[in-house]
Amino acid sequence: MTRPSLVWLRQDLRLDDQPAIAAAADGGPFVALYVLDDETPGEWAIGGAQRWWLHHSLAALGGDLERRGGALVLRRGPAAKIVGQVADEMGASAIHATRHYESWWRAAEAALGDRLELHEGDTLVPLDELRSGAGKPYRIYGPFHRALSAHSVAEPVPAPARLAAPERRPASDQLQDWGLRPTCPDWAKGFSVWGPGEAGALAHLERFAAEAADYARRRDLPSEVGTSNLSAHLHFGEISPRRVWHTLTSEDSAKFRKELAWRDFARSAILADPEIGNRDQRARRVAAREGRSADSDFRAWTRGRTGYPIVDAGMRQLWSTGWMHNRVRMIAASFLVKHLLIDWRRGAIWFWDTLVDADYGNNSLNWQWIAGTGIDSQPWQRMMAPLVQSRKFGAADYIRRWVPELTELDDEAIHEPNGVRNYPEPLIGHRAARERALSRAGS
């Protein structure tokens, strides 16, 4: 009798272009295992918004596996220990998994030793093949992108048509018992705009492929649906970056392909410094403010009450839907760090808990880029002007949607409202904020 194998799932919740599942399926019956591990990642255990998405993603994947004859097992605890235990229960011939790059997952992979067969599937190309002349992970995006562009991206492998589960399956937790969704109050009601799962990911890709010709222009316009909406699907591995890459093949897709390359670069940045989520990659130019005033400003920022409509619209969109438009993310992050002089880590942690697509590499790299502390970042002196950005990128309708206090203002007045009832005055003027930030540079 053929011994079954085990597939350990993490952020690779799909059947299409899933090399770990393909390898297991070729060997006969197998079980797919997802371990909810809040211990191994430590402070980087997944946040509240991600937990909502995870519930629906696992429900979708379980259904997909069952329809093809496979099985999904759920367990909770430290991943390496649980994976080993389940493999022993099954008498598994092999354990297959997709390679991950976060330090806690690499430690768990190492703990499983020779029992674990790792497969490439989280990046466009294996990162071991993208090294600097010194043999180290790249720290600057330009050389990284040139190195990646010199490699061919492997064609995605279709999902197996049929799967086989062993006659005796390991015991499984019940998904609803994990309590991943909020109950009272249900702060995730606005998350219904999303469709977690592989089918939702493929639908978004199909929609985006039909519109990608205008992506380079529309991606910066928050009032339009010009982005791919694939970020959370990519984060949870509901679609592979290789599938996206080979679907978007026209010259018009070049800009979005660079975004996929940046995602790979974020993983390379983790290899360069696993503590990128906590540690400045270069010396900070300005010391962060502390104390009650900074705490009050931070609360106003999280609640969308800064007095800057473009910032407030973004923060309210984030709280309502678990997502924020990319251009507005940069504006809101820059405002926190440079207008309010609050440590980028506080913003990164807030995003980690509230974003459905909160990816450790991307989140950390992008915040450090804004703060001027990153391995490849903008200079501190480059300070985004929210009012200029709001007008330049036509954010009036976006503001009306998320800041209803300003609905009646015209397209010009809405960016910089004056004396509107129930809407706060700016926490600090842009000119005063810029002078303060520059005067404190190097302090």
Measured distance CA(371)–CA(185) in Å, rounded: 34
Q: Are 255 and 215 in contact (CB under 8 A)?
A: yes
Q: What are phi and psi of 138, to 5 degrees?
A: -65, 145
Instruction: Classify domain 1-120 at the CATH superfamily level.
Output: HUPs (3.40.50.620)
Residue 30 forms beta bridges with which residues? 5
DSSP 387: H
* Cα–Cα nearest to 315, from 297, 333, 342, 337: 333
Q: Who contacts 296 (Cβ-Cβ below 8 Å, separation ≥6)?
A: none
Question: Higher-confidence residue: 151 or 185?
Answer: 151
Q: Are 189 and 282 in contact (CB under 8 A)?
A: no
Q: Are 73 and 172 in contact (CB under 8 A)?
A: yes
DSSP 180: -
Question: Higher-confidence residue: 321 or 439?
Answer: 321
pLDDT digits (tens, 9 = 90+) for 319-370: 999 999 999 999 999 999 999 999 999 999 999 999 999 999 999 999 999 9
Task: Write down the pLDDT at residue 1.
Answer: 60
Task: Write down the pLDDT at residue 442.
Answer: 55
Q: Are 34 and 12 in contact (CB under 8 A)?
A: no
Residue 34 forms beta bridges with which residues? 9, 74
CATH number 1.25.40.80 given to 123-156+197-272: yes
Q: Are 226 and 398 in contact (CB under 8 A)?
A: no
Task: Write down the pLDDT at residue 305.
Answer: 98
Instruction: Classify domain 292-439 at the CATH superfamily level.
Output: DNA Cyclobutane Dipyrimidine Photolyase, subunit A, domain 3 (1.10.579.10)
pLDDT digits (tens, 9 = 90+) for 164-186: 999 999 999 999 999 999 987 88
- 147 by DSSP, 3-state: which? helix
| pLDDT above 90: residue 153 | yes
**292 — pLDDT class (breaks 50, 70, 90):** confident
Task: Write down the pLDDT at residue 319.
Answer: 97
| pLDDT above 70: residue 286 | yes
Measured distance CA(230)–CA(214) in Å, rounded: 16
pLDDT digits (tens, 9 = 90+) for 254-265: 889 999 999 999
User: How far, rounded to the nearest angstrom, does the alpha carbon of residue 179 sit from its chain's CA centroid?
Assistant: 22
pLDDT digits (tens, 9 = 90+) for 184-215: 788 999 999 999 999 999 999 999 998 877 88
Torsion of Cα atoms, 21 then 165 then 180 then 345, to 10°: -20
* Cα–Cα nearest to 365, from 386, 385, 351: 351
- 73 by DSSP, 3-state: which? strand
Q: Are 78 and 34 in contact (CB under 8 A)?
A: no
Question: Higher-confidence residue: 369 or 290?
Answer: 369
For the chain, the average pLDDT equals 94
Task: Write down the pLDDT at residue 376.
Answer: 75
User: How far, rounded to the nearest angstrom, does the alpha carbon of residue 442 sit from its chain's CA centroid?
Assistant: 32
pLDDT digits (tens, 9 = 90+) for 59-115: 999 999 999 999 999 999 999 999 999 999 999 999 999 999 999 999 999 999 999
Measured distance CA(368)–CA(280) in Å, rounded: 7
Measured distance CA(89)–CA(165) in Å, rounded: 14
Task: Write down the pLDDT at residue 288.
Answer: 85
Q: Residue 340 has which token pair?
A: 């309010």
Residue type, 169: R
CA angle 363, 332, 373 (to 5 degrees): 50
User: How far, rounded to the nearest angstrom, does the alpha carbon of residue 76 sit from its chain's CA centroid?
Assistant: 23
Task: Write down the pLDDT at residue 214.
Answer: 83
Task: Write down the pLDDT at residue 304.
Answer: 98
Domains 1-120 and 292-439 share a fold: no
Q: What are phi and psi of 407, to 5 degrees?
A: -55, -35
Asked if omega into 386 is within 30° of 0 (cis), the reply is: no
Q: Are 113 and 3 in contact (CB under 8 A)?
A: no
* Cα–Cα nearest to 280, from 199, 365, 192: 365
Q: Where are the domains of the chain?
A: 1-120, 123-156+197-272, 292-439
Percent of the chain with pLDDT over 90: 85
Task: Write down the pLDDT at residue 443.
Answer: 45
Question: Higher-confidence residue: 376 or 260?
Answer: 260
